[in-house]
Amino acid sequence: MQNFDYQTPTRLIFGRGAVDEKLAEVMSRFGEKVLLTYGGGSIRKIGLYDRVKEILKDKEIYELPDIQPNPKYDPSVLDGVKICKEHGIDVILSVGGGSVLDCSKAIAAGAKYDGDPWDLISYKATAEDALPIVDIITLAATGSEYDPGGVISRTETNDKIGYVDPHLFPAVSFLDPVYTFSVSRKQTAAGCADAMNHIMEQYFCEDSTLLNDGFMEAGLKSLMINAKKCLEDPEDYEARAEMMLCCTYGCNGIYALGSSDSGWPCHAIEHALSAYYDITHGEGLAIITPRWMEHILSGKTVGRFVKYGVNVFGIDPDQDEYNIARQAIDATYRFFESIGIPMHLRDVGIDGSRIGEMAHHIAVNEGLENAWIPLDENDLVKILTESL
């Protein structure tokens, strides 16, 4: 087992009615001036915007609306930093999905930094402080509510960077599964694929433990069962709740304490896809994952695929190991397909014309030469081409 140094400062407040019960008390600890951040309107449709405004009626509230999926540095991060600096904001309240929260994290760090916030996101400078963040997460997917990362896109350079810093842990995250009842079929499936891939990025590595493997296998099975239930009945509270918690653990590190790092190759590849083509993150991952699996299947990796296939999909262990591994990869593909995810890049508007450019961008920027199974530019071209 590898050494680790682990701390999660985030308070999770989970369950039906959590916002009504505790938001006022939580916000009372952070000062009077609040920046309320949100996306394109879903929180108004579900009545959450009005509810939050009512609960915080005595606060001085400034708003940053219209944060887009794959949140943009310009305008959203820059606009948010400007509001925080001009008005001396005390706390950010992020209400929405992972994109709103990721954008809020970059704003929180930028607000306490004198230079260009891109310096922080691109790791040219390190944050020394950040505004506190409280969030109400409305989509089960990224796990941003329990991790210190935010992913920000800069359109003009086709960059999509995962910005990780301990200052970015939310102070408090509210998770009420009822607010996810309205999530569309597409986003429910994409959220499931994202959370499954977070687990796979930690499962497929050199060193793991029985404990971690069991935890992750259970996470994958729970996500598959509960995502299907959510698709059948979007208001199934228990299914939405369990899916939400599986997602929350995703990028916090808890699934893999003591394991070695895999290098998160599918995320590195997908971030380029959504940077170049602005696609839905979970869909990009679902398309890439089985092709990446096939690409790395070898004597070194086959044992992990056997374990995954037998324990997650119940494949008969009394067979040739490559047979089991290929059935496991096929089962992964079929599951994503069964929840309605388009399984080819062409289905999400990506043709082959920029594969070379994207492969180069990933090879230069993502450090996959140090992944569990190293990937160079040629490997990336092959994986992307197979995904077409």
- The contact set with Zn ion (CB under 5 A) reads 194
Nearer to Zn ion (CB atom), residue 131 or residue 137: 137
Give the x/- contact pattern for ligand NZQ in 264-283, rule: CB under 6 A.
Answer: ---x-------------x--
To ligand NZQ, the closest distance from the beta carbon of 163 in angstroms equals 9
Is 69 a residue that touches ligand NZQ (CB under 6 A)?
A: yes
Per CB under 6 A, 219 contacts ligand NZQ: no
Residue 240 binding ligand NZQ, by CB under 6 A:
no
Please report how close the Cβ of residue 179 comes to ligand NZQ at its closest, in angstroms: 5
Considering CB distances under 5 to 8 angstroms, the limit depending on partner class, which of ligand NZQ, Zn ion, none binds residue 96? ligand NZQ
- What does residue 263 show for φ and ψ, rounded to 5 degrees? 90, -5
- Kindly state whether residue 113 participates in binding ligand NZQ, applying the rule CB under 6 A: no
Give the residue, chosen from 141, 223, 286, 380, that forms a contact with ligand NZQ under the rule CB under 6 A.
141
Residue 173 touches which of ligand NZQ, Zn ion, none (Cβ within 5-8 Å per kind): none
Residue 284 near ligand NZQ by CB under 6 A: no
187 binds, among Zn ion, ligand NZQ, none (CB under 5 to 8 A by kind): ligand NZQ
CA 94 – CA 333 distance, rounded (Å): 34
Judge whether 117 and 156 are in contact, CB under 8 Å: no
- Give the Å distances, CA to CA, from 386 to 345, 355, 374: 9, 11, 18
**Could you tell me the two tokens for 159?**
């960059």
Distance CA 249, CA 216 (A): 10
How many Å apart are CA 34 and CA 22, to the nearest integer?
Answer: 16
The contacts of residue 322 (CB under 8 Å, 6+ apart) are: 297, 302
Which is nearer to ligand NZQ, 98 or 309 (by Cβ)? Answer: 98
Q: What is the dihedral of CA 378, 383, 385, 387, to 10 degrees?
A: -170
Give the distance between the most distant pair of CA atoms in the chain: 67
Q: Which stretch binds ligand NZQ (CB under 6 A): 138-146, 321-329, 340-348, 373-381?
A: 138-146
Among residues 35, 64, 77, 96, which is the contact residue for ligand NZQ, using CB under 6 A?
96
**Which CB, 43 or 121, lies closer to ligand NZQ?**
43
| Binding test (CB under 6 A) with ligand NZQ, winner from 13, 117, 133, 147 | 147
Stretch that binds ligand NZQ, among 79-87, 99-107, 113-121, 253-261 (CB under 6 A): 99-107
DSSP state of 127: -
Cβ distance 226 to 180 under 8 Å? no
Cβ at position 150, least distance to ligand NZQ in Å: 5
187 vs 327, which CB is nearer to ligand NZQ?
Answer: 187
Q: Which residue do the tokens 């971690």 mark?
A: 212
Residue pair 19/176 in contact (Cβ under 8 Å)? The answer is yes
Please state, in angstroms and rounded to a whole number, the distance separating the CA atoms of residues 234 and 215.
26
Q: By CB neighbour count within 10 A (0-12 exposed, 13-18 middle, 19+ buried), where does 355 fall?
A: buried
Q: Does 213 bind ligand NZQ (CB under 6 A)?
A: no
Residue 131 near residue 70 (C-beta atoms within 8 A): no
Residue 175 burial by CB count (10 A; 0-12/13-18/19+): exposed, middle or buried? buried
Residue 260 burial (10 A CB sphere; 0-12, 13-18, 19+): middle
Q: Does 107 help bind ligand NZQ (rule: CB under 6 A)?
A: no
Closer of 194 and 213 to Zn ion (Cβ): 194
Residue 251 Cβ vs ligand NZQ, minimum distance, rounded to whole Å: 4
Task: Give the nearest distance from C-beta 107 to ligand NZQ in angstroms.
Answer: 14
CB of 147 to ligand NZQ, least distance (A): 5
Identity of the residue, 41 or 314, whose beta carbon is nearer to ligand NZQ in the bound complex: 41
Helical (H) or strand (E) element with 161: strand 159-164
Of residues 69 and 309, the one with the C-beta less far from ligand NZQ: 69
Q: Which positions touch ligand NZQ (CB under 6 A)?
A: 39-43, 46, 69-70, 96-100, 102, 138-139, 141-144, 147, 149-151, 179-180, 182-183, 187, 191, 194, 251, 267, 281
